[in-house]
Amino acid sequence: MDYGEVLERFEPVLGLEVHVELSTVTKMFCGCATVFGAPPNTQVCPTCLGLPGSLPVLNGAAVESVVRIGLALNCSIVPWCRFARKNYFYPDMPKNFQTSQYDEPIAVHGSLEVQLADGSTFTVGIERVHMEEDTGKSLHVGGATGRIHGASHSLLDYNRAGVPLIEIVTKPIVGAGARAPEVARAYVTALRDLLRALEVSDVRMDQGSLRCDANVSLMPRGSSTFGTRTETKNVNSLRSVERAVRHEMSRQAAVLASGGQIVQETRHFDEDSGTTSPGRRKETSEDYRYFPEPDLVPIALRDEWVQRLRATLPELPWQRRARVQAEWGLSDPELRDLVNAGALDLIAATVEAGAPAGAARSWWVSYLSQQANSRSVELTELPITPEQVARVIALVDAGGLTTSLARQVVNGILAGEGEPEEIIAARGLAVVSDSAELMAAVEHALAAQPDVAEKIRSGKVAAAGAIVGAVMKATGGQADAQRVRELVLARCAP
Amino acid sequence: MEVTQAHLDRIAAVDGAVHAFLYLDAAAALSAAAAVDDRVQRADPPASPLAGVPLALKDVFTTVDMPTTCGSRTLQDWWPPYDATVTCRLREAGVVILGKTNMDEFAMGSSTENSAYGPTHNPWDLDRVPGGSGGGSAAAVAAFEVPLAIGTDTGGSIRQPSAVTGTVGVKPTYGGVSRYGLVAFSSSLDQGGPVARTVLDAALLHEVIGGYDPLDSTSIAAPVPPVVQAAHAGATGDLTGLRVGVVSQFRGEGYQPGVLRAFEIAVSRLRELGAHVVEVSCPSFDYALPAYYLIAPSECSSNLARFDGMRYGLRVGDDGSRSAEEVMSLTRAAGFGPEVKRRIMLGTYALSAGYYDAYYGQAQKVRTLIIRDFAAAFERVDVLVSPTTPTTAFGLGERVEDPLAMYLSDLCTIPANLAGNAALSVPAGCSDDDGLPVGLQVMAPSLADDRAYRVAAAYEVARDAADGGPLAHRVPELTEDRLPGPNRAGVVGR
Amino acid sequence: MPAISRDEVAHLARLARLTVTEEELALFASQLEVILTSVARVSEVAAVDVPPTSHAVGLTNVFRADSPRPGLTQQQALCGAYATEDGRFRVPRILDES
């Protein structure tokens, strides 16, 4: 069945669950460090190891982060909530229960407006945002793929156990139709950008600090009853989100079209093939036996505290877009191009760092975009910051650099040679602005080309170009050509 | 040091019969005692009046220098890598911890017969139980093996053993003593507390272990109530103006006549001291026992899930062919005794989908009603009194086959655990039908522990006067002819 | 009168990761039934509008600062373990995906 046919017969319904690891200094319920990549079981204590007798104490910074996330997603922050225990056995969970929130999430009923590539927007409803703790990491040894199947034993590292985890669950996403995979990807992208702006997480899908599970079901056209959904895990990049959703839609359509039924199950996304496969089916569905966590006391979210946190929210990405568009007088297509190039936030940040909008835009959209393309990376992945770009622009404006020198400085930054000032000094790139030095060079050039000098003196101003060229050569291009020309003309004035 | 040695000698002489201790570290004890002596000699006396005093610690608190078994095979030879807060405070005060005492497995029981290491025998009659779950601590104090001990009380596990062994046992206000390092049975009910032969000794110990702990989220951020001061005040023997309420639900069928008579004598003594005694009805107390036997097993089914052999403790059946799930199940089956298994399954049932509202949910509502009944009662009276437990010490083996009969021991003690308020047992006298100790339970509002101490201290003075001496001294001699056979397995000497 | 069948007990044992013998199943079923009958009394209490109490201590908002506290060394963390490998806890093969 081709994709078009899938959409003719079915309306896809999505539910996206995103888990975010907070970048707090310490874990959710104990004072252990959360540094990525530490040697195994070196960032643990009785609490996150679940040793007998240990107790949790809630990280206040994590609470503030989740409230800010909820506010940024236009959620209502509940006045009171508790933690609950989610009980099940698994070796990566030291207590064999996860301290989470069940029927009392801290934030509910929000929305996120997501912009698609063609400029249209799609509003994704947010059902809930809640706090939980991450599990340890298991290494499965002995199998072919490093996965569970065929493994002889497993090795557990609990460094990650207890790291604060925020779960964001969407309301069913309906009506995206053929664009469902794109909407899914755009949602996760927008969420990632938002969380980055809030500075609450590193949001690195490749490091696991942002994880996405995609729930997909198909509703036959004309029906209003949701179909059976599957949950796909191991979706480790933005591209995978889109591919996984698309694959599931097609797979489910094929099953339903041939008269089969969708099994409600958890599936595993395979990066290489772009397909999903079923996880091991459980005999009985899990009964998590949730009950209020007795070792933690409830959280009372007083209004003035929530408002204080609201005041700490940075300008959120869509707010920035609207403001920038107004300030720079951009048309919608212009704005869209900038957004698609991933340049908007970078330009805005450069402007915030003091650069004029035009120069900022110009640098990012032309020279830096070329650099990004030639290195096959995203603009945001270039090893240069908006602050550095702003400094370079400022140096050019102040006359310390010419445009071509500035490009050399930028190349130096991209090469990791350091800050603009360091590179200028190391490479000797400063504009020669010392009058005496310049005058000397001008004199020298005039003396070397007396016939040209004569022409200038007789009024042929255009001839000055040859002298300027000679001076530029003599100074290794580090003179300000305009200035040199002025000096030449002044020197040759009658 | 002499004091410590004398107690070690006593233990060596009698613990073969009593079996209060699971672990004894004579060398460490003597060394700790010597350190205290040292400081005194250097005119740098420790601040606490309990420095140098020997103590027995219920084997449910973690200690880095002694095993912590919780009376279970699951934790046989488990040496925790951290000390409980209670342990730390005892050490800081210079108290000499001689060893760990026997208990019902994971604190579940009323007779210490559920210990995996054999029962403890009541020093008053070696064929009878010392109560439970903290029978070891109570027996050690009653047998003059130590002057002080620490227990934990979830449904009466300090008070009931004290009642049947003629000692003083206190359950502080919930949150008054840190639970960090107290291996959890029922988190919202567990509370550590002192066991001693006199009310003043218990008060002194209470002040050492009590107080706010930032490692325990349920710990109350208020100073320890002035219990020592209250014990002194009570010792004047004047209770003029005190309003005492006798709980009308705690009498009648199921109560040993001798116990009721001893209780009546105790009440009349309170009147003689100037108290104004009335009857108070707390109707919801009739539902306390069933509510408790839903809440406690529910919480314990979750708290004990961590014991799966993966990170510490017993592991059974790992022959290289079995899965983690199978090894967990075999380990838990081998590590837990029948009472623990029963409660885990009961708790699993009460929390499961479809049953939660009728069982756990309903029990939490009963809890609210009990709190309200206490609040209403304490509007009319200052303290509530009752027999601590319906019978004197029953025979070893008498109730083991009948869980419900065993649970009835907790009838009077449970309400205070559910509501969280302070309660203690002070020896009332001996039953006139079997000559065995009977306990008087005194209950005070939350944070008013001192009030209970004052009443108990006054009562103690009156009782000692009437009986011609302290009740504890009437314990039968543990002479050669009463000591049966060879040393029991489980007392580990060092 | 709640009746608890042998199968239900087997299900509970599975949920709680407890291997039980046939004898135990029968014994536990009868014991649990007796206990359940007794605790079912809580439903007699008309408590429709009574709020449940999950915490007797009336505290809220107990937080700690986001600053590090020394934990355990790797050796301490692994000290009670039955088996370790490369600084990790070694456990038998796991069947279910998480």
pLDDT digits (tens, 9 = 90+) for C32-79: 999 999 888 898 887 678 999 988 888 999 999 999 999 999 999 999
pTM (whole model) above 0.90? no
User: Which of C18, C32, C98 to probe the B interface (max B CBs under 10 A)?
Assistant: C18
Residue indicated by tokens 């009046």? B49
Q: Which of B176-180, B485-489, C10-14 shows the lowest per-residue confidence on average (mean pLDDT)?
A: B485-489
Indicate the residue type of B177.
Answer: V
User: Which residues on chain C are in Cβ contact (under 8 Å) with B371?
Assistant: 53, 56
> Of B58, B178, B284, B386, which one is the catalytic site residue?
B58
- Residues of B in Cβ contact (< 8 Å) with C91: 310, 324, 327
pLDDT over 90 at A279, yes or no: no
pLDDT above 90 covers what percent of chain B?
90
Distance, CA of B267 to chain centre: 24
Active site residue B58: yes
CA distance B344 to B74: 15
B219 is catalytic: no
Give the distance from residue A33's alpha carbon to the nearest chain B alpha carbon, in angstroms: 17
Residue B215 with chain A: CB contacts under 8 Å: 55, 57
Look at residue A120 in the predicted model and tell me its pLDDT: 85
Q: Mark residue A22 as left, alpha or beta (left: phi above 0; alpha: psi -120 to 50; beta: remaining).
A: beta
Is C1 an 8 Å CB contact of chain A? Answer: no
Mutate: best of B177, B187, B349, B402, partner C, most C CBs <10 A: B349
Task: pLDDT band for A494, please (50, 70, 90 cuts).
Answer: low
Smallest Cβ distance to C35: which of B284, B333, B403?
B403
- The pLDDT tens digits of the residues spanning B310-366 come to 999 999 999 999 999 999 999 999 999 999 999 999 999 999 988 999 999 999 999
- Judged by a CB distance cut-off of 8 A, whether residue B312 touches chain A is yes
Q: Measure the CA–CA gap between A144 and A33, rounded to whole angstroms.
A: 33
Contact C53, B421 (CB under 8 A): no
User: Residue B91 in contact with residue B83, Cβ under 8 Å?
Assistant: yes
Instruction: Give the count of alpha carbons within 13 A of B89, CB side only.
Output: 23
- Whether the CB-CB separation of B269 and B403 falls below 8 Å is answered with no
**Which of A90, A291, A297 faces C98 most closely, judged by CB atoms?**
A90
**What subunits make at least 3 CB pairs under 8 angstroms with B?**
A, C
CB contact under 8 A, B80 and A51: yes
Does the CB of A151 have a partner CB in chain B at under 8 Å? no
User: What pLDDT is recorded for position C2?
Assistant: 61
The answer to whether residue B40 scores a pLDDT higher than 90 is no
B170 near B193, Cβ under 8 Å? yes
Output the DSSP codes for A434-460.
Answer: -HHHHHHHHHHHHHH-HHHHHHHHTT-
Tens digits of per-residue pLDDT, B388-426?
Answer: 999 999 999 999 988 889 999 999 999 999 999 999 999
pLDDT of B260 strictly over 90: yes
Does the beta-carbon distance from C93 to A148 stay under 8 Å? yes
Band of the pLDDT at A58, cuts 50, 70, 90?
very high
ipTM of the complex: 0.95
Q: Active-site residue among B110, B111, B133, B284?
A: B133
- The pLDDT, as a whole number, for residue B494 is 28
Of the pLDDT bands very low, low, confident and very high (cuts 50, 70, 90), residue B492 is very low
Catalytic residue among B72, B137, B157, B409: B157
Pairing of strands B243-247, B383-387: parallel
| Rounded distance between C-alpha atoms, residue A70 and residue A249, angstroms | 30
pLDDT tens, residue by residue, A145-195:
777 778 899 999 999 999 999 999 999 999 999 999 999 999 999 999 999
Residue A358's Cβ-count burial label (10 Å; 0-12, 13-18, 19+) is exposed
* pLDDT of residue A219 exceeding 70: yes
Q: Tell me: cis bond preceding B133? Omega within 30 of 0 counts.
A: yes
- On average, the pLDDT of chain B sits at 94
pLDDT of residue A67: 98
Question: What is the largest distance, in Å, between two alpha-carbon atoms of chain C?
Answer: 58
DSSP lists the bridge partners of residue A232 as: A214, A267
- pLDDT higher than threshold 50 for residue B488: no
Count Cβ atoms within 10 A of the Cβ of residue B454 and give its class: 0-12 exposed, 13-18 middle, 19 or more buried: buried
**Cβ within 8 Å, pair B351-A95:** no
